[in-house]
Amino acid sequence: MKDMALLLVDFQNDYFSSYKGAKFPLDKCEEASLNAAKILAKFREKKYNIVHIRHEKDSENATFFKKDTIGAQIHNNVVPKANEKIITKNFPNSFLYTDLKEYLDKLGIKKLIIVGAMSHMCIDATVRAASDLGYDCTVVSDSCATKSLQYATVEIPSLFVHATIMAALEFAYSKVINTDKLLEEL
């Protein structure tokens, strides 16, 4: 489909516990990236549009995704090919201060398939922005990862964080499906 693109958001080494120097490992990031790799392979096979998005922090105080570090590089499970677009962002919203919208519009993209990390931050911000900009969004839930959070004295397990975000996105911003269902539909 010429009007569809896959957005792979922030599958970067610092999120992977399998990467020895991981600065901010997420729960189930390896699994999510392997699911995303299946989708990526299908998009490549069908010659659909692919956009890799990576977060980079330029501050000396950055705790992860620090500019010019191996931790900020895209993980090998979903490494871009030379002909695939890479967008570097500095905020959770992949559209904010990037050329993502211009690039997608130039290609005539109307539908976005979104995978990546963190569910509760960059996936949430990117999907809401994309929907507000008029894109038809689909989030692939088992191709996204997050981590447990704490609010005041309440510990929120990653499973609940992820499920809450997926439910909120599905309510008003996006279709939410799993990898197998998406692959059937492609």
Report how far apart, in Å, the C-alpha atoms of 127 and of each of 84, 147, 165, 173 are.
Answer: 21, 18, 11, 7
Mean per-residue pLDDT for 28-45?
98
| pLDDT per position as a tens digit, 90-148 | 999 999 999 999 999 999 999 999 999 999 999 999 999 999 999 999 999 999 999 99
Length of the chain: 186
Structural domains of the chain, with CATH: 4-185 (3.40.50.850)
**pLDDT at residue 19 is higher than 80:** yes
pLDDT at residue 64, as a whole number: 87
Model's pTM, two decimal places? 0.95
| pLDDT per position as a tens digit, 136-186 | 999 999 999 999 999 999 999 999 999 999 999 999 999 999 999 999 999
Mean per-residue pLDDT for 9-26?
92
Q: Number of C-alpha atoms within 13 angstroms, CB side, residue 101? A: 15
Cis peptide before 118, with omega less than 30 degrees from 0? yes
* C-alpha triplet 55, 104, 33: angle, nearest 5°: 45
